[in-house]
Amino acid sequence: MGVLATISYCVAFGWVIWRTLTGMETIGDLMLYLTLFGQSQGAFLAVLAHIGQLHENSLFLTNLQDFLVLRPQMTTPAQPCSVPQNITQGNEFSHVSFHYPNQKQWVLHDINLCIRPGEKVALVGSNGSGKTTLVKLLTLLYDTTEGQILLDGVDLREYDLKELQERIGVIFQDFV
C-alpha cells in the first residue's frame, strides 16, 4: 500500500507539472497541488501505519484474553494452617526440585537449604542458574515439582495462600 501511495503521488506530481508546462495551470496552482498531494500522501501513509498497528495489537489481544481467564493452580487447602505471626524456625527447602511444564531440564534439583529468622541471604550465580526461580518458589508464585518448602516446620502449601502472600514482599533485581 505504501508503494501504491508513492506511485500515485509521482503520477499526480507528473500530471500537475505537465499541465503547468502546457499552460493549463499556473505556478501558484502547481504549488497548491503539490502541497495538497504531499499532505494527502502523508495522511494516507499515517492511516496505513495505524492499520498495521491495529493488526499487530490485535495479535496480542489473544494473549491478554488467555491470561485473563487463567485460574491459579495453587489453591488454599480446605483446612488451612494460620500463618505464624512470629517466625521461630524459618524456611527450609527440603529436596526441592523444579522444572517448567513440558520441559525435562531441571531448573533446580534437590535443593536443601535452611534460612533462619533474622538471617540475611544473598543468592549469587550466573544467569539461568535458578536464583529467581528459588525466590518464586519461596513466595508460592511457582509450585515445586518435587520436595517441599517449610515455614516453621509446616509445608507452605498447608497455609492460607492469600494470607501468606500478603505477608511477603519481593523486589526483583532489574537485569539491565
- pTM, full prediction: 0.61
Per-residue pLDDT of 44-94, as tens digits, reads: 888 888 988 998 888 888 888 888 898 877 888 889 998 998 999 999 999
81: helix, coil or strand?
A: strand
* Nearest CA among 63, 133, 74, 66 for reference residue 100: 133
pLDDT band at 10 (very low <50, low <70, confident <90, very high): confident
CATH superfamily of 91-166: P-loop containing nucleotide triphosphate hydrolases (3.40.50.300)
**CA separation for the pair 83, 156 (Å, rounded):** 9
pLDDT score, position 63: 85
